[in-house]
Chains A and B, each alone.
Chain A
Amino acid sequence: MVEAIGVRKSYFGLEVLRGVDLTVTRGEVTCLIGPSGSGKSTLLRCINHLEKHDAGELLVDGELVGYELRSGRLYELSDKRICGERAQIGMVFQRFNLFQHLTVLENITIGQIRVKGVKEEAAIAKARELLTRVGLDSKERHYPAQLSGGQQQRVAIARALAMDPKLMLFDEPTSALDPELVGEVLDVMKDLARSGMTMIVVTHEMNFAKEVANTVYFLDQGVIEESGDPKVVLTSPASARLQSFLSKVL
């Protein structure tokens, strides 16, 4: 589903990703862990082309992200084509990023109506269904500022799901939440994982990774230091770096 081969990315001469290889199969949950600045979020943002990677190959569903290979050359795709690709990849942000001027319901319908061209009634029906799924059916007329962090993040998940994504990216979805609100968001994510959604999750929630992930990748200083079954990797880490990281977060 997602295939990264030697992906590199640097900002102003600072190399954030230094050759990352990663494979995600359909229906699997993959967790990216690692210290801050290790390149986890950057990798995630490269996958839906919010950032352009400098070198290496990045394939989603067998197709290059943001580029097209024609007669041995990589052509950057037009804005419109990239948007089409992005619409199929859902993303949930650390800071929710709900549209502040729209109600909960409008947040979930705007993408369906404006990007996918769904009829308004159908979009609203779908939004209500998703709101029930994330347990917020009573909040559809509220504005984001009137919701708690946990509720906002659940709306953000519903907004992403409304586009019928084939892949969901989560960028530290619980890091900006009060501790008592983390659970409600993780529950929605677990439910989503059970339904067979392909998910890549950047997280600091080691218990979530242990419980839900099929594979966990440990990134440090722009490279994958260790990867594998979370039950093995997180309980008996092989590398010294992961050992010291886990001793700090657990």
Chain B
Amino acid sequence: MTSNGDDAVKVVPVRHYRRWVGTVAVVIFLAMVVHTILSKVGTGVNVCTRVQGIRHCHQPLRWRFYWNIVFHYFTTYDVIHGLYLTLWLTVLAMTIGIVLGVILAVMRRSQSRLLSSTAWTYTWFFRGTPVLVQLFFWFNITALYTSITIGLPFLHVTFLHLNLLSILNPFRSAMIALGLNEAAYMSEIARAGLLAVDEGQVEAATSIGMTRGQSLRLVVLPQAMRVIIPPTGNEVISMLKTTSLASTVGVIELLGAVTNISAANFQVMPLLIVASIWYLIVTTVLSIGQFYLERHYAKGALRNPPPTPIQRLRDDLKGIASKYRTKRGVPSGVTS
């Protein structure tokens, strides 16, 4: 068979009729969705006017999804402040979760049975009870302890004295509850990452004289990151949404803020849409960040790193441009 030339046999691709039918059905469905989201409906109230003795009546229209109200509340101070608390709570709880989680993962791998079983028990406990229960627990912890004192027993030596009644507010209890809960999940993620690094890497690190701590820090953890990052990204996104539970203990974060507003004006739906859009915006930004972080830690793992979406878009455009050029009789690769 000749691959090109005038007498080359033309290839006719298989026609996928069912795929075409499916495509048409989905296009129609999507069009309907977009239409209904952007549609207007009657308010159900007749407004009548009398012009030159003749009565004219009409029903004013409103957006079905109350877009005007959504837009009105989207950037109000209360909503933005709620968003700020949501982000701040996410950052703090995830920081606690990641740091404690890595410590727990390293403890799990310890030669000491006590350390490893302590880490196991922690995960067992915090993964085994609902996060909402834990949230209420930390919110009410002052029923059990009004203060915490760290010192030497029997000697009346005090290093640290914490008055929980004054320290703990709703935000801080939520931060502790979500952070400690997250640590249980993060420890499993970090452990999977540590397990994924080949034993030989530790041996090589040891053989050039690194201590156990150095080989963990300089060799194992950076390579474990490649495995740890994707599920951690999931956890951050999940945490962002879980912070909405904090509204149940009185933290006026994003959901708390919109609930407060809708409790006053009864516009429940528009304000829930406001919150949803904000959550979507933040998760989108986080996903983009995760992509670049993954790329950074994939260093050396792949022979050819995959292109970024922007590079891919550029390549696609180039491809289309060159195709267009060849159609017009200019061979690709020749630029004027």
Q: Interface on A for B, CB 8 Å cutoff?
A: 48, 50, 79-80, 83-84, 86-91, 93, 95, 97-103, 110-111, 114-116, 143-146, 156, 159-160, 163
Residue-wise interface mask of B (180-219) relative to A, using a CB-CB cutoff of 8 A (1 in contact, 0 not): 0000000000000000001011011111111110100011
Is there an interface contact between B211 and A159, defined as CB atoms closer than 8 Å?
Answer: no
Given the complex of chains A and B, what is the CA–CA distance between A146 and B4 in angstroms? 35
Of the residues B200, B210, B218, contact of A97 by C-beta under 8 Å: B200
Q: A93-B200, A97-B200 are in contact. Are A79 and B211 (CB under 8 A)?
A: yes
Is there an interface contact between A160 and B218, defined as CB atoms closer than 8 Å?
Answer: no
Q: A95-B200, A145-B300 are in contact. Are A101 and B207 (CB under 8 A)?
A: no
List chain B residues, Cβ under 8 A from A103.
Answer: 300
Given the complex of chains A and B, what is the CA–CA distance between A111 and B222 in angstroms? 16
List chain B residues, Cβ under 8 A from A98.
Answer: 204
Q: A50-B203, A50-B206, A93-B204 are in contact. Are A101 and B301 (CB under 8 A)?
A: yes
Of the residues A87, A97, A102, A156, contact of B209 by C-beta under 8 Å: A87
Q: Give 9 A-B contacts (CB < 8 Å), ordered by A residue.
A: A50-B203, A84-B209, A89-B207, A97-B201, A99-B201, A101-B222, A115-B209, A143-B300, A145-B303
CB of B302 within 8 Å of the partner chain = yes
A45: nearest chain-B partner, CB-CB = B203
Shortest distance in angstroms between A112's beta carbon and chain B's nearest beta carbon?
9
Given the complex of chains A and B, what is the CA–CA distance between A220 and B302 in angstroms? 41
Is there an interface contact between A86 and B209, defined as CB atoms closer than 8 Å?
Answer: yes
Is there an interface contact between A111 and B210, defined as CB atoms closer than 8 Å?
Answer: yes
List chain A residues, Cβ under 8 A from B223.
Answer: 99-101
CB of B299 within 8 Å of the partner chain = yes
Given the complex of chains A and B, what is the CA–CA distance between A224 and B205 in angstroms? 30
Is there an interface contact between B208 and A159, defined as CB atoms closer than 8 Å?
Answer: yes
Is there an interface contact between A144 and B300, defined as CB atoms closer than 8 Å?
Answer: yes
Is there an interface contact between B300 and A102, defined as CB atoms closer than 8 Å?
Answer: yes
Is there an interface contact between A87 and B208, defined as CB atoms closer than 8 Å?
Answer: yes
Given the complex of chains A and B, what is the CA–CA distance between A143 and B200 in angstroms? 17
Given the complex of chains A and B, what is the CA–CA distance between A159 and B219 in angstroms? 14
Shortest distance in angstroms between A86's beta carbon and chain B's nearest beta carbon?
5
Q: A80-B211, A83-B211, A114-B218 are in contact. Are A97 and B204 (CB under 8 A)?
A: yes
Given the complex of chains A and B, what is the CA–CA distance between A79 and B208 in angstroms? 14
Is there an interface contact between A83 and B203, defined as CB atoms closer than 8 Å?
Answer: no
| Interface residues on chain B, size class | 20 to 34
Shortest distance in angstroms between A44's beta carbon and chain B's nearest beta carbon?
11
The CB with the most chain A CB atoms within 10 A, among B211, B214, B223, is that of B211
Is there an interface contact between B214 and A115, defined as CB atoms closer than 8 Å?
Answer: yes
List chain A residues, Cβ under 8 A from B219.
Answer: 99
A98: nearest chain-B partner, CB-CB = B204
A147: nearest chain-B partner, CB-CB = B303
Given the complex of chains A and B, what is the CA–CA distance between A49 and B335 in angstroms? 64
- In the A-B complex, the 9 residue pairs with the smallest Cβ-Cβ separation, listed nearest first, are A87-B209, A143-B300, A97-B204, A111-B208, A97-B200, A91-B207, A115-B209, A101-B300, A86-B209
B302: nearest chain-A partner, CB-CB = A145
Shortest distance in angstroms between A18's beta carbon and chain B's nearest beta carbon?
24
List chain A residues, Cβ under 8 A from B206.
Answer: 50, 83, 86
List chain A residues, Cβ under 8 A from B212.
Answer: 79
Of the residues B198, B218, B302, contact of A110 by C-beta under 8 Å: B218
Given the complex of chains A and B, what is the CA–CA distance between A144 and B299 in angstroms? 10
A156: nearest chain-B partner, CB-CB = B204
List chain A residues, Cβ under 8 A from B300.
Answer: 100-103, 143-145
Is there an interface contact between B208 and A115, defined as CB atoms closer than 8 Å?
Answer: yes
Given the complex of chains A and B, what is the CA–CA distance between A85 and B200 in angstroms? 19
Given the complex of chains A and B, what is the CA–CA distance between A123 and B37 in angstroms? 64
The CB with the most chain A CB atoms within 10 A, among B200, B209, B222, B303, is that of B209
Q: A101-B222, A143-B299 are in contact. Are A111 and B209 (CB under 8 A)?
A: yes
Shortest distance in angstroms between A141's beta carbon and chain B's nearest beta carbon?
11
Shortest distance in angstroms between A106's beta carbon and chain B's nearest beta carbon?
10
List chain B residues, Cβ under 8 A from A114.
Answer: 210, 214, 218
Given the complex of chains A and B, what is the CA–CA distance between A89 and B207 in angstroms? 7
Is there an interface contact between B214 and A86, defined as CB atoms closer than 8 Å?
Answer: no
- Can you add 13 more A-B contacts, CB < 8 Å, to A87-B208, A93-B204, A143-B299? A50-B206, A86-B206, A86-B208, A95-B200, A97-B201, A97-B204, A99-B201, A100-B223, A101-B222, A101-B226, A101-B299, A103-B300, A114-B218
B205: nearest chain-A partner, CB-CB = A99
List chain B residues, Cβ under 8 A from A156.
Answer: 204
Q: A143-B299, A143-B300 are in contact. Are A100 and B201 (CB under 8 A)?
A: yes
Shortest distance in angstroms between A47's beta carbon and chain B's nearest beta carbon?
11
Given the complex of chains A and B, what is the CA–CA distance between A88 and B209 in angstroms? 8
Shortest distance in angstroms between B73's beta carbon and chain A's nearest beta carbon?
47
List chain A residues, Cβ under 8 A from B201.
Answer: 97, 99-100
A87: nearest chain-B partner, CB-CB = B209
B214: nearest chain-A partner, CB-CB = A114
Given the complex of chains A and B, what is the CA–CA distance between A159 and B209 in angstroms? 12
List chain B residues, Cβ under 8 A from A146.
Answer: 303
Shortest distance in angstroms between B166's beta carbon and chain A's nearest beta carbon?
44
Shortest distance in angstroms between A166's beta carbon and chain B's nearest beta carbon?
13
The CB with the most chain A CB atoms within 10 A, among B208, B223, B299, B302, is that of B208
List chain B residues, Cβ under 8 A from A50.
Answer: 203, 206-207
